[in-house]
Amino acid sequence: MATKKKQVAKKKQAGSTVKVALLGFGTVGSSVARVLAASKFPGIELTHIFNRDVQRKRTSAAAKAVPASVIWTENIDDILNSKAEVVVELMGGLNPVEGWLRKALASGKSVVTANKQLIAYRGANLAKLAAANNVHLVYGAAVAGGVPVIPGMLQGLGGDQATRLSGILNGTCNYILNRMEGGADYTTVLADAQQLGYAEADPSADVDGFDARAKLCILSRIALHAELDPDAVTTQTISTIEAIDFTYAKELNCTIRQVSQAERNGKAVHARVAPMLVPLSSPMAWSHGTQNMVVVSGRFGGDVVFSGHGAGGEPTAVAVVSDLLAVAQDCSAVQLPIRKREVTDEFMAPHYLRFVVDDKPGIVSAIAGALAKVGANIDSLLQTPGHPKHRLPFVVTTEPSLTSTIEKAMKAIAKLDCMLEKPLCLQILVADDKPE
């Protein structure tokens, strides 16, 4: 009996179509249906759509792009027991989606998904299940939306030895920080982002770094051949950034971005997701709005930059449909060796420290003393005029120091009587940052 994978290829050669079931008819799912209807790709037939409260979706304006022959259902068994050969999953989350996709793969159906949390936490196991059943698991849309980062790394950079990757992987945070760069405050911009649909009612997945963390782990698996535990990767929220930080950043010829970075160093991977000061000369400083950007540093090929719209229904749909076409044509992805790696958030880098104090003599001396005690040196001190002495924001930058060293000093400094709020500590990203 031929395997399902070989059956798909055989059908294609015979001019038949590959039947596709769509799980989820939200922003991305409806965009996928629209792209399929507009492009009329030969060999692709949308046969089923699954969604909760399916009648409401079926009568929506977006459903006008769906062929009348498509079967709508809110019973997942209708999909799993159907003759669909490819399941396109656009619902997100781990449960119950993981169980459904395991059943689909085990029954000989290929899977195309944009589910970053699922691939970050379960991707390796699902890939083994797909291989065991001679079907495809493809997830090019799970990172950076319409930017072909994953296929670019697999097909275009598979022959290099990537040593480091860094990037802007969350369009919502990029939008918020871009607006704040222009003088807006965090609360106002977040509300605007929610109204525009960039941010959820609970924005923590975006602003606290969990969304970008999942994407970083997926990219680390591909680029660095390293399987990371997402929960072991340190994240830092952007919600503590204030307008004054952009003022000081500008004085340092920098801006602020949520940066995801990972670097192999021996058997460990140094990784973190956090707002960082980024030099204006860096490609990541040029990313605006909801754009994503990824820089991959290779041993032989040097730096390669991927950039484009990382959010939105249609850009993501383009990536999904591209994956679907690859599966329909039985295109196999490059297989690379992957090993589990320990994760540390330790980097050697200069740091930006912002304090808000009730000004009095000896504050700078106390801060310098706390830093000197752990072996860190001050590089510069910045204080913009016009702020009241009883609530004075000022900044200290350090010479390159270990992350843990600065954090130890910050715990001591936070206990000083003059501190009016928790000090802010941001890494300053430079081209030659090195893990330790």
Residues with a known catalytic role: 215
Residue 6 tokens, joined: 């070989």
Cross-strand pairs, 112:
88, 138
Residue 290 tokens, joined: 């909801």
Q: Among 148, 142, 189, which Cα is nearest to 28's? A: 142
Q: Among 389, 264, 292, 404, which Cα is nearest to 348's? A: 404
Question: DSSP letters of 161-199?
Answer: -EEEEEEE--HHHHHHHHHHHTT--HHHHHHHHHHHTSS
Q: What angle do CA 208, 213, 217 make, to 5 degrees?
A: 175
b/e map 220-235, b = 16+ CB within 10 Å: bbbbbebebebeebeb
Q: Cβ of 182: how many Cβ atoms within 10 Å? A: 9
> Over the Cα atoms of the chain, what is R_g?
24
Rounded distance between C-alpha atoms, residue 299 and residue 358, angstroms: 50
Residue 387 tokens, joined: 């702020």
Residues 6+ apart with CB under 8 A from 132: none
Rounded distance between C-alpha atoms, residue 246 and residue 58, angstroms: 46
Rounded distance between C-alpha atoms, residue 30 and residue 46, angstroms: 12
Cross-strand pairs, 176:
none
Rounded distance between C-alpha atoms, residue 75 and residue 94, angstroms: 18
Question: DSSP letters of 112-159?
Answer: EE--HHHHHHHHHHHHHHHHHTT--EE-GGGSSTTS-HHHIIIIISTT
Q: Cβ of 191: how many Cβ atoms within 10 Å? A: 12
Q: Cβ of 266: how many Cβ atoms within 10 Å? A: 8
Tell me if 223 sits within 8 A of 247, measured CB to CB: no
